[in-house]
Amino acid sequence: MSIKSKVFATAATMTMVGGIGAVGLLPAQAATPSCGGTCVSGVGQEYGPAFVLDVLRQGEKVGQPVILFRTSNSDPAEDFTYATEGTVNSFYTTYGLVSAGLAKTYGTDAAYEAEYSPYGVESGLCVGVASTAGNDTPVVLEPCGASSKTVWVVDATDPGTGPAYYPLINGSDTNFSHPFVLHYPGSAYPTDMPRPQLNTYTLQTSAGTTPAVYNNEMWANEDGVLPG
């Protein structure tokens, strides 16, 4: 499945995918010039745009780990495109990719698949998990459009979400009160060896009267060509 619905604004701005349209704007830019304005790059709040989502060693195969790596406009491992976009309801009613429970809880939230597209060439592989999301489930490349495991839901309702960064719930989630979200391992740094692999983990919030989601579980997407 590769449905380029272009629901989300991809002009000369950096947009977080959330709602039908842009929800939070940051200065523009995604990855190689060959991929250009059609590409997006995943950015975590913990380290900001200095590091983006990357496919380890540019491996174009099922099960290849997804990591964070230093931003570069010459690294095709940082090239991703939207394979499918819409609301959670559309992923349930139109594509049949998520559960009725997920649609009931997050139906109006935006959702998408991020397809690995080195130099702008679609691979048919999307960022996801190989098994139902849980604590420490590794994030890898999986076939796009095959199951809920490659769907990511933009959680615009949890406490601590800001104007640009949001938690991303994996579409295979079954724990709707404490969802499993895209997570960067605690105490890890992108230049560590071996490279730390992203995983899913229970949504974590700080204590206090105004709880906030931990910044290693907050994400945004950059559109366009990354700086060198």
Within the chain, strands assigned E span 14-17, 22-26, 40-44, 51-55, 66-70, 80-87, 110-116, 125-129, 137-143, 152-154, 168-170, 180-183, 199-202, 219-223
Within a domain: 4: no
Count of other CB atoms within 10 angstroms of residue 63: 11
The answer to whether residue 159 scores a pLDDT higher than 80 is no
Within a domain: 120: yes
Could you tell me what percent of the chain has a pLDDT over 90? Answer: 69
- What is the band of 222 on the pLDDT scale with cuts at 50, 70, 90? confident
184 token code pair: 């960067």
* Mean of per-residue pLDDT scores for the chain: 85
Within a domain: 3: no
The lowest-confidence range among 48-62, 77-91, 103-117, 151-165 is 151-165
Residue 91: predicted pLDDT: 97
Whole-angstrom Cα distance, residue 50 to residue 177? 32
Within a domain: 228: no
Whole-angstrom Cα distance, residue 101 to residue 79? 32
Closest-CA residue to 99 (of 168, 149, 136): 149
Number of domains into which the chain is organized: 1
- Which 3 state secondary structure label does DSSP give 181? strand
Mean pLDDT of 131-153: 98
Residues 222/50, Cβ–Cβ less than 8 Å: no
pTM, entire model: 0.86
Within a domain: 191: yes
Look up the CATH number of the domain holding residue 145. Answer: 2.80.10.50
Where in the sequence is the domain holding 200, given as residue range(s)?
Answer: 14-223
The answer to whether residue 227 scores a pLDDT higher than 80 is no
Place of tokens 């349930």: 92
Mean pLDDT of 178-188: 96
Residues 224/36, Cβ–Cβ less than 8 Å: yes
Residue 26: predicted pLDDT: 36
Could you tell me what percent of the chain has a pLDDT over 70? Answer: 82
Please write the tens of the pLDDT for every residue from 9-47. 222 222 344 332 333 333 334 478 888 878 888 999 999
